[in-house]
Amino acid sequence: MDYRNLISGNWEVTREGLPNVNPSDVSDVIGMAAVSETADMDRAIASARAAAPDWARATPQMRFDVLDAIGSEILSRTEELGQVLSREEGKTLPEGIGEAARAGQIFKFFAGECLRQTGDHLASTRPGVEVDVTRAPVGVVGLITPWNFPIAIPAWKIAPALAYGNAVVLKPAELTPGSAWALAEIISRAELPEGVFNIVFGKGSVVGQHLVDHPGVDAVSFTGSVPTGRGIAVSCAKTMKKVQLEMGGKNPMVVLDDADLGLAVEACLNGAFYSTGQRCTASSRLIVTEGIHDRFVAALTQAMQGLKVGNALEPGIQMGPVVDARQLAQNLSYLKIAAEEGGTVIGGERLTLAQEGFYMAPALVTETQNDMRINREEVFGPVASVLRARDYDEALALANDSAFGLSAGICTTSLKHASHFKASSEAGMVMVNLPTAGVDYHVPFGGTKGSSYGPREQGRYAAEFYTRVKTAYTLP
Protein backbone atom coordinates (compact mmCIF):
# COMPACT_ATOMS: atom_id res chain seq x y z
CA MET A 1 0.00 0.00 0.00
CA ASP A 2 1.36 3.42 -1.00
CA TYR A 3 0.05 6.43 0.90
CA ARG A 4 0.23 9.20 -1.69
CA ASN A 5 -0.37 12.92 -1.50
CA LEU A 6 -3.75 14.27 -2.59
CA ILE A 7 -3.28 17.66 -4.28
CA SER A 8 -5.93 19.43 -6.35
CA GLY A 9 -8.04 16.27 -6.47
CA ASN A 10 -5.23 14.05 -7.79
CA TRP A 11 -3.37 11.23 -6.05
CA GLU A 12 0.25 11.88 -6.90
CA VAL A 13 3.00 9.38 -7.70
CA THR A 14 5.15 8.50 -4.70
CA ARG A 15 8.84 9.11 -5.37
CA GLU A 16 10.12 7.83 -2.03
CA GLY A 17 8.45 5.89 0.75
CA LEU A 18 8.67 5.78 4.55
CA PRO A 19 7.68 2.36 5.97
CA ASN A 20 4.61 2.13 8.17
CA VAL A 21 5.51 -0.53 10.76
CA ASN A 22 3.05 -2.42 12.94
CA PRO A 23 4.12 -1.86 16.60
CA SER A 24 2.48 -5.16 17.59
CA ASP A 25 4.61 -7.08 15.06
CA VAL A 26 7.61 -5.21 13.66
CA SER A 27 7.96 -7.74 10.82
CA ASP A 28 4.66 -6.42 9.43
CA VAL A 29 5.28 -3.44 7.13
CA ILE A 30 1.80 -2.13 6.41
CA GLY A 31 2.64 0.33 3.65
CA MET A 32 4.87 3.13 2.44
CA ALA A 33 4.10 6.80 2.97
CA ALA A 34 5.22 9.57 0.64
CA VAL A 35 8.26 11.56 1.79
CA SER A 36 7.31 14.94 0.40
CA GLU A 37 9.38 18.01 -0.36
CA THR A 38 8.56 21.67 0.18
CA ALA A 39 7.62 21.95 -3.51
CA ASP A 40 4.81 19.44 -2.89
CA MET A 41 3.52 21.55 -0.02
CA ASP A 42 3.72 24.67 -2.20
CA ARG A 43 1.45 23.03 -4.78
CA ALA A 44 -1.00 21.85 -2.13
CA ILE A 45 -1.27 25.35 -0.66
CA ALA A 46 -1.67 26.89 -4.11
CA SER A 47 -4.43 24.38 -4.84
CA ALA A 48 -6.21 25.28 -1.61
CA ARG A 49 -5.91 29.01 -2.27
CA ALA A 50 -7.41 28.61 -5.72
CA ALA A 51 -10.32 26.55 -4.40
CA ALA A 52 -11.04 28.57 -1.25
CA PRO A 53 -13.18 31.41 -2.71
CA ASP A 54 -15.75 29.14 -4.36
CA TRP A 55 -16.02 26.87 -1.32
CA ALA A 56 -16.48 29.93 0.90
CA ARG A 57 -19.53 30.80 -1.23
CA ALA A 58 -20.95 27.25 -1.21
CA THR A 59 -24.44 26.99 0.23
CA PRO A 60 -25.03 25.45 3.66
CA GLN A 61 -26.83 22.57 1.92
CA MET A 62 -23.82 21.83 -0.30
CA ARG A 63 -21.52 21.72 2.70
CA PHE A 64 -24.00 19.62 4.67
CA ASP A 65 -24.26 17.06 1.87
CA VAL A 66 -20.48 16.66 1.63
CA LEU A 67 -19.84 16.31 5.36
CA ASP A 68 -22.86 14.07 5.90
CA ALA A 69 -21.68 11.74 3.13
CA ILE A 70 -18.22 11.54 4.66
CA GLY A 71 -19.67 10.78 8.09
CA SER A 72 -22.00 8.12 6.71
CA GLU A 73 -19.22 6.27 4.92
CA ILE A 74 -16.95 6.34 7.96
CA LEU A 75 -19.73 4.94 10.15
CA SER A 76 -20.42 2.18 7.63
CA ARG A 77 -16.75 1.13 7.71
CA THR A 78 -15.80 1.47 11.39
CA GLU A 79 -14.53 -2.10 11.76
CA GLU A 80 -12.33 -1.84 8.67
CA LEU A 81 -11.00 1.58 9.65
CA GLY A 82 -10.50 0.48 13.25
CA GLN A 83 -8.43 -2.46 12.03
CA VAL A 84 -6.17 -0.13 10.03
CA LEU A 85 -5.83 2.20 13.01
CA SER A 86 -5.04 -0.47 15.59
CA ARG A 87 -2.61 -2.21 13.28
CA GLU A 88 -0.48 0.89 12.77
CA GLU A 89 -0.90 2.71 16.12
CA GLY A 90 -1.16 -0.13 18.63
CA LYS A 91 -4.36 0.63 20.53
CA THR A 92 -6.64 -2.35 20.98
CA LEU A 93 -9.10 -3.19 18.22
CA PRO A 94 -12.20 -2.15 20.23
CA GLU A 95 -10.48 1.18 20.91
CA GLY A 96 -9.60 1.55 17.23
CA ILE A 97 -13.16 0.82 16.12
CA GLY A 98 -14.47 3.26 18.73
CA GLU A 99 -12.16 5.98 17.45
CA ALA A 100 -13.27 5.41 13.86
CA ALA A 101 -16.90 5.72 14.97
CA ARG A 102 -16.09 8.97 16.72
CA ALA A 103 -14.61 10.35 13.50
CA GLY A 104 -17.87 9.59 11.71
CA GLN A 105 -19.90 11.20 14.46
CA ILE A 106 -17.76 14.33 14.27
CA PHE A 107 -18.44 14.74 10.56
CA LYS A 108 -22.16 14.18 11.16
CA PHE A 109 -22.18 16.82 13.91
CA PHE A 110 -20.46 19.42 11.75
CA ALA A 111 -22.71 18.57 8.82
CA GLY A 112 -25.51 19.80 11.07
CA GLU A 113 -23.48 22.88 12.01
CA CYS A 114 -23.43 23.86 8.33
CA LEU A 115 -27.17 24.51 8.67
CA ARG A 116 -27.00 26.07 12.14
CA GLN A 117 -24.66 29.00 11.45
CA THR A 118 -26.09 32.19 12.86
CA GLY A 119 -25.34 35.89 13.19
CA ASP A 120 -26.83 39.05 14.65
CA HIS A 121 -28.97 41.75 13.08
CA LEU A 122 -28.84 44.92 15.17
CA ALA A 123 -30.09 48.46 15.06
CA SER A 124 -27.29 51.03 14.94
CA THR A 125 -27.07 53.96 17.30
CA ARG A 126 -27.57 56.06 14.16
CA PRO A 127 -31.18 56.37 12.98
CA GLY A 128 -32.08 54.18 10.00
CA VAL A 129 -28.77 52.30 9.93
CA GLU A 130 -28.75 48.49 10.23
CA VAL A 131 -25.90 46.31 11.46
CA ASP A 132 -25.22 42.67 10.54
CA VAL A 133 -22.65 40.61 12.43
CA THR A 134 -21.71 37.41 10.60
CA ARG A 135 -18.92 34.85 10.49
CA ALA A 136 -16.72 34.41 7.41
CA PRO A 137 -14.23 31.61 6.65
CA VAL A 138 -10.61 32.19 7.61
CA GLY A 139 -9.40 31.01 4.18
CA VAL A 140 -6.71 28.33 3.89
CA VAL A 141 -6.16 26.32 7.07
CA GLY A 142 -3.09 24.18 7.71
CA LEU A 143 -3.70 21.16 9.97
CA ILE A 144 -0.89 19.23 11.68
CA THR A 145 -2.06 16.11 13.52
CA PRO A 146 -0.45 13.56 15.90
CA TRP A 147 -0.11 9.80 15.81
CA ASN A 148 -2.04 8.86 18.96
CA PHE A 149 -5.54 9.54 17.56
CA PRO A 150 -4.76 9.26 13.85
CA ILE A 151 -8.34 9.41 12.56
CA ALA A 152 -10.31 11.23 15.29
CA ILE A 153 -8.03 14.26 15.60
CA PRO A 154 -7.80 14.85 11.83
CA ALA A 155 -11.59 14.52 11.74
CA TRP A 156 -12.18 17.07 14.49
CA LYS A 157 -9.98 19.56 12.63
CA ILE A 158 -11.04 18.85 9.02
CA ALA A 159 -14.79 18.72 9.66
CA PRO A 160 -15.19 22.20 11.21
CA ALA A 161 -12.72 23.70 8.75
CA LEU A 162 -14.87 22.51 5.84
CA ALA A 163 -18.17 23.22 7.58
CA TYR A 164 -17.27 26.88 8.00
CA GLY A 165 -16.12 27.25 4.38
CA ASN A 166 -12.33 26.91 4.55
CA ALA A 167 -9.92 25.07 2.27
CA VAL A 168 -7.63 22.58 4.00
CA VAL A 169 -4.07 21.28 3.79
CA LEU A 170 -3.47 18.35 6.17
CA LYS A 171 0.00 17.20 7.27
CA PRO A 172 -0.59 13.98 9.26
CA ALA A 173 1.80 12.24 11.64
CA GLU A 174 4.64 10.23 10.09
CA LEU A 175 4.05 7.22 12.37
CA THR A 176 0.41 6.62 11.41
CA PRO A 177 -0.13 7.47 7.73
CA GLY A 178 -2.62 4.69 7.02
CA SER A 179 -5.51 6.11 9.04
CA ALA A 180 -5.04 9.60 7.60
CA TRP A 181 -4.86 8.19 4.08
CA ALA A 182 -8.04 6.13 4.60
CA LEU A 183 -9.86 9.25 5.82
CA ALA A 184 -8.51 11.31 2.92
CA GLU A 185 -9.62 8.64 0.43
CA ILE A 186 -13.18 8.85 1.78
CA ILE A 187 -13.11 12.66 1.62
CA SER A 188 -11.81 12.53 -1.96
CA ARG A 189 -14.99 10.75 -3.11
CA ALA A 190 -17.48 13.04 -1.36
CA GLU A 191 -18.03 15.46 -4.26
CA LEU A 192 -15.88 18.09 -2.61
CA PRO A 193 -14.54 20.55 -5.23
CA GLU A 194 -10.95 19.86 -6.27
CA GLY A 195 -8.39 21.60 -4.12
CA VAL A 196 -10.64 22.24 -1.12
CA PHE A 197 -9.02 19.33 0.73
CA ASN A 198 -5.37 18.33 0.29
CA ILE A 199 -3.11 15.94 2.20
CA VAL A 200 0.70 15.99 2.16
CA PHE A 201 2.73 13.28 3.87
CA GLY A 202 6.28 13.84 5.07
CA LYS A 203 8.52 15.00 7.86
CA GLY A 204 7.25 17.62 10.23
CA SER A 205 10.61 19.39 10.22
CA VAL A 206 10.39 19.79 6.43
CA VAL A 207 6.84 19.98 5.04
CA GLY A 208 5.20 20.67 8.40
CA GLN A 209 7.40 23.68 9.07
CA HIS A 210 6.92 24.88 5.50
CA LEU A 211 3.15 24.73 5.98
CA VAL A 212 3.45 26.84 9.13
CA ASP A 213 5.74 29.42 7.53
CA HIS A 214 3.97 29.71 4.17
CA PRO A 215 2.37 33.11 3.49
CA GLY A 216 -0.49 31.40 1.64
CA VAL A 217 -1.78 29.79 4.84
CA ASP A 218 -4.17 31.89 6.95
CA ALA A 219 -4.41 29.72 10.09
CA VAL A 220 -2.67 26.71 11.63
CA SER A 221 -4.17 24.14 14.00
CA PHE A 222 -1.65 21.82 15.67
CA THR A 223 -1.84 18.94 18.13
CA GLY A 224 1.43 17.54 19.44
CA SER A 225 4.33 18.20 21.77
CA VAL A 226 4.90 21.35 23.80
CA PRO A 227 8.28 22.28 22.23
CA THR A 228 6.91 21.93 18.69
CA GLY A 229 3.76 23.85 19.61
CA ARG A 230 5.74 26.74 21.06
CA GLY A 231 7.84 26.90 17.91
CA ILE A 232 4.71 27.00 15.77
CA ALA A 233 3.28 29.83 17.88
CA VAL A 234 6.42 31.90 17.28
CA SER A 235 6.36 31.19 13.54
CA CYS A 236 2.67 32.09 13.23
CA ALA A 237 3.19 35.32 15.15
CA LYS A 238 5.78 36.41 12.60
CA THR A 239 3.27 36.09 9.75
CA MET A 240 0.20 37.10 11.80
CA LYS A 241 -1.58 33.77 11.30
CA LYS A 242 -4.35 32.54 13.55
CA VAL A 243 -3.01 29.63 15.58
CA GLN A 244 -4.61 26.91 17.70
CA LEU A 245 -2.40 24.60 19.78
CA GLU A 246 -3.25 21.47 21.76
CA MET A 247 -0.12 20.17 23.43
CA GLY A 248 0.54 18.16 26.55
CA GLY A 249 -0.91 17.23 29.90
CA LYS A 250 0.21 16.01 33.31
CA ASN A 251 -3.30 15.36 34.45
CA PRO A 252 -4.16 14.87 38.12
CA MET A 253 -6.77 12.51 39.48
CA VAL A 254 -7.60 13.21 43.11
CA VAL A 255 -8.93 10.30 45.19
CA LEU A 256 -10.42 11.35 48.53
CA ASP A 257 -10.96 9.19 51.62
CA ASP A 258 -14.73 9.12 50.99
CA ALA A 259 -14.41 7.86 47.41
CA ASP A 260 -16.02 4.63 46.24
CA LEU A 261 -12.85 2.52 46.07
CA GLY A 262 -13.98 0.30 43.19
CA LEU A 263 -15.13 3.27 41.11
CA ALA A 264 -11.87 5.15 41.83
CA VAL A 265 -9.72 2.19 40.81
CA GLU A 266 -11.65 1.69 37.58
CA ALA A 267 -11.48 5.40 36.70
CA CYS A 268 -7.73 5.51 37.30
CA LEU A 269 -7.09 2.22 35.50
CA ASN A 270 -8.96 3.55 32.47
CA GLY A 271 -7.42 7.01 32.58
CA ALA A 272 -3.83 5.88 33.11
CA PHE A 273 -3.48 2.71 31.07
CA TYR A 274 -6.15 2.42 28.36
CA SER A 275 -4.89 3.33 24.89
CA THR A 276 -1.49 2.34 26.35
CA GLY A 277 -1.48 5.64 28.21
CA GLN A 278 -0.81 7.46 24.95
CA ARG A 279 -3.40 10.18 25.51
CA CYS A 280 -2.77 13.81 26.38
CA THR A 281 -5.70 13.50 28.81
CA ALA A 282 -4.31 10.41 30.59
CA SER A 283 -4.39 10.30 34.40
CA SER A 284 -0.65 10.49 35.00
CA ARG A 285 -0.66 11.90 38.59
CA LEU A 286 -2.85 10.07 41.12
CA ILE A 287 -3.19 12.23 44.22
CA VAL A 288 -4.59 10.14 47.06
CA THR A 289 -5.47 11.21 50.60
CA GLU A 290 -3.96 9.31 53.51
CA GLY A 291 -7.05 7.47 54.75
CA ILE A 292 -7.55 5.55 51.50
CA HIS A 293 -4.01 5.64 50.08
CA ASP A 294 -2.77 2.16 50.97
CA ARG A 295 -6.01 0.38 50.06
CA PHE A 296 -6.17 2.30 46.78
CA VAL A 297 -2.58 1.50 45.80
CA ALA A 298 -3.06 -2.19 46.59
CA ALA A 299 -6.31 -2.41 44.61
CA LEU A 300 -4.99 -0.44 41.63
CA THR A 301 -1.79 -2.49 41.56
CA GLN A 302 -3.80 -5.69 41.44
CA ALA A 303 -6.04 -4.36 38.67
CA MET A 304 -3.08 -2.99 36.70
CA GLN A 305 -1.15 -6.23 36.89
CA GLY A 306 -4.24 -8.08 35.68
CA LEU A 307 -4.35 -6.18 32.40
CA LYS A 308 -3.70 -8.43 29.41
CA VAL A 309 -0.96 -6.93 27.23
CA GLY A 310 -0.46 -8.15 23.67
CA ASN A 311 -1.05 -7.76 19.95
CA ALA A 312 -3.58 -4.99 19.49
CA LEU A 313 -5.61 -7.00 16.98
CA GLU A 314 -6.05 -10.10 19.15
CA PRO A 315 -9.36 -10.66 21.02
CA GLY A 316 -9.30 -10.02 24.75
CA ILE A 317 -6.24 -7.77 24.74
CA GLN A 318 -6.65 -4.83 27.11
CA MET A 319 -3.43 -2.94 26.37
CA GLY A 320 -1.43 -2.97 23.16
CA PRO A 321 2.17 -1.94 22.50
CA VAL A 322 3.53 1.58 22.59
CA VAL A 323 3.81 3.19 19.19
CA ASP A 324 7.52 2.77 18.39
CA ALA A 325 10.99 2.05 19.76
CA ARG A 326 11.70 5.68 20.62
CA GLN A 327 8.54 6.00 22.72
CA LEU A 328 9.32 2.72 24.48
CA ALA A 329 12.83 3.91 25.32
CA GLN A 330 11.43 7.19 26.65
CA ASN A 331 8.92 5.41 28.89
CA LEU A 332 11.58 3.11 30.36
CA SER A 333 13.99 5.99 30.89
CA TYR A 334 11.41 7.90 32.94
CA LEU A 335 10.87 4.85 35.15
CA LYS A 336 14.63 4.65 35.75
CA ILE A 337 14.74 8.35 36.64
CA ALA A 338 11.76 7.95 38.99
CA ALA A 339 13.52 5.12 40.85
CA GLU A 340 16.72 7.16 41.10
CA GLU A 341 14.76 10.07 42.57
CA GLY A 342 13.27 7.89 45.30
CA GLY A 343 10.08 6.47 43.82
CA THR A 344 9.05 2.83 44.05
CA VAL A 345 8.36 1.39 40.59
CA ILE A 346 5.75 -1.37 40.29
CA GLY A 347 5.65 -3.07 36.87
CA GLY A 348 6.97 -1.30 33.79
CA GLU A 349 9.11 -4.18 32.50
CA ARG A 350 10.01 -4.55 28.85
CA LEU A 351 7.95 -7.51 27.62
CA THR A 352 9.02 -10.14 25.13
CA LEU A 353 6.03 -11.79 23.47
CA ALA A 354 5.61 -14.31 20.64
CA GLN A 355 5.69 -11.51 18.06
CA GLU A 356 8.40 -8.90 18.33
CA GLY A 357 6.84 -5.55 19.16
CA PHE A 358 7.14 -2.52 21.40
CA TYR A 359 5.62 -4.05 24.51
CA MET A 360 5.92 -3.05 28.15
CA ALA A 361 3.97 -3.80 31.31
CA PRO A 362 1.93 -0.91 32.73
CA ALA A 363 3.74 0.87 35.56
CA LEU A 364 2.79 2.55 38.81
CA VAL A 365 5.32 4.70 40.69
CA THR A 366 4.52 5.16 44.38
CA GLU A 367 6.03 7.29 47.17
CA THR A 368 6.68 10.23 44.85
CA GLN A 369 6.95 13.96 45.46
CA ASN A 370 5.47 16.57 43.14
CA ASP A 371 8.88 18.05 42.29
CA MET A 372 10.12 14.76 40.80
CA ARG A 373 10.44 14.63 37.02
CA ILE A 374 7.87 11.82 36.83
CA ASN A 375 5.35 14.38 38.13
CA ARG A 376 6.50 17.40 36.13
CA GLU A 377 7.08 16.06 32.62
CA GLU A 378 4.72 14.25 30.25
CA VAL A 379 5.78 10.62 29.74
CA PHE A 380 3.06 9.66 27.25
CA GLY A 381 2.97 5.98 28.07
CA PRO A 382 1.29 3.49 30.44
CA VAL A 383 2.89 5.09 33.48
CA ALA A 384 1.17 6.72 36.46
CA SER A 385 2.62 8.12 39.67
CA VAL A 386 1.01 8.29 43.11
CA LEU A 387 1.27 11.23 45.52
CA ARG A 388 0.08 11.22 49.14
CA ALA A 389 -1.98 14.16 50.35
CA ARG A 390 -3.05 14.96 53.92
CA ASP A 391 -6.50 16.18 52.97
CA TYR A 392 -8.59 17.74 50.21
CA ASP A 393 -6.88 21.13 50.45
CA GLU A 394 -3.41 19.68 49.94
CA ALA A 395 -4.70 17.42 47.16
CA LEU A 396 -6.13 20.43 45.31
CA ALA A 397 -2.88 22.36 45.74
CA LEU A 398 -0.87 19.43 44.35
CA ALA A 399 -3.28 19.04 41.45
CA ASN A 400 -2.86 22.68 40.46
CA ASP A 401 0.93 22.69 40.97
CA SER A 402 1.77 21.96 37.34
CA ALA A 403 2.85 23.74 34.18
CA PHE A 404 0.00 21.92 32.44
CA GLY A 405 -3.75 22.33 32.74
CA LEU A 406 -5.57 20.09 30.29
CA SER A 407 -7.76 17.68 32.27
CA ALA A 408 -8.28 16.95 35.96
CA GLY A 409 -10.47 14.59 37.93
CA ILE A 410 -11.70 13.84 41.42
CA CYS A 411 -13.24 10.72 42.95
CA THR A 412 -15.43 11.57 45.92
CA THR A 413 -18.94 11.13 47.30
CA SER A 414 -18.86 14.65 48.75
CA LEU A 415 -20.93 17.17 46.80
CA LYS A 416 -19.08 19.94 48.65
CA HIS A 417 -15.65 18.78 47.51
CA ALA A 418 -16.82 17.91 43.99
CA SER A 419 -18.33 21.36 43.52
CA HIS A 420 -15.29 23.13 44.94
CA PHE A 421 -12.92 21.09 42.75
CA LYS A 422 -14.86 21.87 39.59
CA ALA A 423 -14.64 25.57 40.37
CA SER A 424 -11.04 25.60 41.65
CA SER A 425 -9.21 23.16 39.37
CA GLU A 426 -6.81 24.95 37.01
CA ALA A 427 -7.71 22.71 34.08
CA GLY A 428 -9.77 23.23 30.97
CA MET A 429 -11.73 20.02 31.52
CA VAL A 430 -12.80 18.58 34.90
CA MET A 431 -14.22 15.13 35.63
CA VAL A 432 -16.03 13.96 38.78
CA ASN A 433 -16.01 10.19 39.37
CA LEU A 434 -14.97 9.67 35.74
CA PRO A 435 -11.61 9.07 34.01
CA THR A 436 -9.70 12.22 33.02
CA ALA A 437 -9.65 10.88 29.45
CA GLY A 438 -12.82 10.73 27.37
CA VAL A 439 -14.56 13.85 26.06
CA ASP A 440 -17.74 13.95 23.97
CA TYR A 441 -17.38 15.13 20.37
CA HIS A 442 -20.01 17.89 20.66
CA VAL A 443 -18.43 19.82 23.54
CA PRO A 444 -15.31 22.02 23.64
CA PHE A 445 -11.90 20.39 24.13
CA GLY A 446 -8.87 22.23 25.50
CA GLY A 447 -6.90 23.30 28.52
CA THR A 448 -5.06 26.08 30.30
CA LYS A 449 -1.45 27.04 31.01
CA GLY A 450 1.04 25.03 28.92
CA SER A 451 -1.53 22.58 27.58
CA SER A 452 -3.41 24.73 25.08
CA TYR A 453 -3.25 28.03 23.25
CA GLY A 454 -5.93 29.72 21.21
CA PRO A 455 -9.64 28.92 20.79
CA ARG A 456 -11.12 25.58 21.84
CA GLU A 457 -11.56 22.62 19.54
CA GLN A 458 -14.75 20.62 18.90
CA GLY A 459 -18.41 21.44 19.29
CA ARG A 460 -19.88 24.84 18.47
CA TYR A 461 -16.84 26.53 19.98
CA ALA A 462 -14.80 25.42 16.95
CA ALA A 463 -16.30 28.39 15.08
CA GLU A 464 -14.07 30.71 17.13
CA PHE A 465 -10.98 29.42 15.31
CA TYR A 466 -12.28 28.50 11.86
CA THR A 467 -14.13 31.78 11.21
CA ARG A 468 -13.61 35.52 11.41
CA VAL A 469 -16.26 37.89 12.69
CA LYS A 470 -17.45 40.46 10.15
CA THR A 471 -19.51 43.56 10.99
CA ALA A 472 -21.44 45.21 8.12
CA TYR A 473 -23.45 48.49 8.18
CA THR A 474 -26.29 49.34 5.78
CA LEU A 475 -28.28 52.48 5.20
CA PRO A 476 -31.31 51.20 3.26
Residue positions annotated with a catalytic role: 246, 280
SS3 state of residue 335: helix
SS3 state of residue 340: helix
CA distance 226 to 248: 6
CA distance 194 to 410: 48
- Which DSSP letter does residue 4 get? -
167-168-169 Cα angle (round to 5): 140
SS3 state of residue 247: coil
Is 59 buried (19+), middle (13-18) or exposed (0-12) by CB count in 10 A?
exposed
Q: Tell me which residue of 158, 173, 394 sits closest to 287, measured CA to CA.
A: 394
CA distance 137 to 141: 10
Q: Are 358 and 331 in contact (CB under 8 A)?
A: no
What is the chain's Cα-based Rg?
23
- Which DSSP letter does residue 12 get? P
Strand order in the sheet with 251-255: 344-347, 363-366, 383-389, 283-289, 251-255, 407-411, 429-432
Question: Which residues are registered as beta bridge partners of 405?
Answer: 448
- Which DSSP letter does residue 45 get? H
CA distance 38 to 155: 24
**DSSP state letters, 193-235:** PTTSEEE--S-IIIIIHHHHH-TT--EEEEES-HHHHHHHHHH
> What letters, b where the CB count within 10 A reaches 16 and e where it falls short, cover 425-437?
bbbbbbbebbbbb
Cα atoms found within 13 Å of the Cα of residue 45, Cβ hemisphere only: 23
Reading phi first (left if > 0) and then psi (alpha if -120 to 50, else beta), residue 148 is in: alpha
